[in-house]
Amino acid sequence: MEHSSSPKGRRSSLTQQLVAEFARRIRDGEIQSGEKLPTEQVIIRESGVSRTVVREAMSRLQAEGLVETRHGIGTFVVDASQPGHSSQDQSSIGTPGDAVSIIELRLSLEPESAALAAQRRTPEQLAAIRQALDELHRCTRQGKDTLQADFEFHRQISLCTANSFFTDVMSQLGSSILPRTRSGFGNIASAHSVDDPDIQRREQESIYEAIAHQDRDAARAAMRLHLINSLLRVRAKH
């Protein structure tokens, strides 16, 4: 695999390469639907990458709906022919009611995820959150689709919890956990004062700052406020 110049860039490049390799093997049928992927140790040995790279790659493959992790068993290619499979179909969250329900689910999970992230994050993980947030702000400024960048910001926070179940839930849901730009919702901006892009940016920065200062209570409160305002945005639009 190719290497980038900086450690952070090198790890990101290796993760992307590993994701691309497994996505290709799945698409080409080299790894069949329902088939178990090689173990973490086998991938490390065969690919020559770190455990962190492997875990980030598997998380991204889950977010793309290509694989699913069964605790204590392993990671398997999603069988799209089976009812109730975990593939993140972009049309799966299709109504305002769905949007409200998904935010309610997030309210039950993400404030505590942010609190744990504040307590347990490493300097490297904080840098990854910063990078994801900067990319989200860039997409917003340039008028680009922010769905994937927003999801990556929240996924990076879940990775800091040191609790794989938080990350697994995020990955299983994929970008459907951020339904506001989907299925004809259109641009919810200007529907409510809390939907001002500057307000959203401040909400996100407040989450980051609380995690940076390792303030559990502030991180929990900032995430909860952000999600409550997200709920208001959806309800105001519909």
Q: Are residues 147 and 221 in the same domain?
A: yes
Residue 180's CATH number: 1.20.120.530
Q: Are residues 13 and 102 in the same domain?
A: no
Instruction: Tell me whether residue 88 is in a domain.
Output: no
Q: Are residues 73 and 106 in the same domain?
A: no
Q: How many helices (H) and strands (E) does the chain have?
A: 9, 2
The amino acid at 29: G
pLDDT of res. 225: 96
Tokens 């700052």 -> residue: 209
Instruction: Tell me whether residue 122 is in a domain.
Output: yes
pLDDT of res. 86: 43
- Tens digits of residue pLDDT in 73-96: 889 998 755 544 444 444 444 566
The amino acid at 112: E
pTM: 0.61
| pLDDT value at 12 more than 80 | no
- Coil, strand, or helix at residue 226? helix
Where among 28, 47, 77 does a domain terminate? 77
Instruction: Tell me whether residue 168 is in a domain.
Output: yes
Gap between the Cα atoms of 72 and 150, Å rounded: 30
- Tens digits of residue pLDDT in 26-38: 888 899 989 999 9
Instruction: Tell me whether residue 87 is in a domain.
Output: no
Where among 77, 107, 133 does a domain terminate? 77
- Coil, strand, or helix at residue 15? helix
Interhelix angle 7-27/40-47, nearest 10 degrees: 110
Mean pLDDT of 202-217: 98
Q: Are residues 42 and 128 in the same domain?
A: no
69, two tokens: 């992790």
Q: Are residues 66 and 126 in the same domain?
A: no
Count: domains in the chain: 2
Q: Are residues 68 and 107 in the same domain?
A: no
- Report the percentage of the chain scoring pLDDT > 70: 77
Instruction: Tell me whether residue 72 is in a domain.
Output: yes
Q: What angle do CA 191, 196, 201 make, to 5 degrees?
A: 145
- Coil, strand, or helix at residue 40? helix
Residue 56's CATH number: 1.10.10.10
Q: Whole domain around residue 208: which residue ranges?
A: 96-237
Q: Are residues 218 and 100 in the same domain?
A: yes
Instruction: Tell me whether residue 85 is in a domain.
Output: no
Cβ pair 99, 179 in contact under 8 A: yes
Interhelix angle 147-159/197-212, nearest 10 degrees: 20
Gap between the Cα atoms of 187 and 146, Å rounded: 11
Across-strand partners of 74? 70
Q: Are residues 214 and 144 in the same domain?
A: yes
At 190, is the pLDDT very low, low, confident or very high (cuts 50, 70, 90)? very low
| pLDDT value at 3 more than 60 | no
pLDDT of res. 96: 63
Radius of gyration (C-alpha) of the chain in whole angstroms: 18
Instruction: Tell me whether residue 140 is in a domain.
Output: yes
Instruction: Tell me whether residue 86 is in a domain.
Output: no
- Coil, strand, or helix at residue 208? helix
Tell how far CA 219 is from the center of its chain: 18
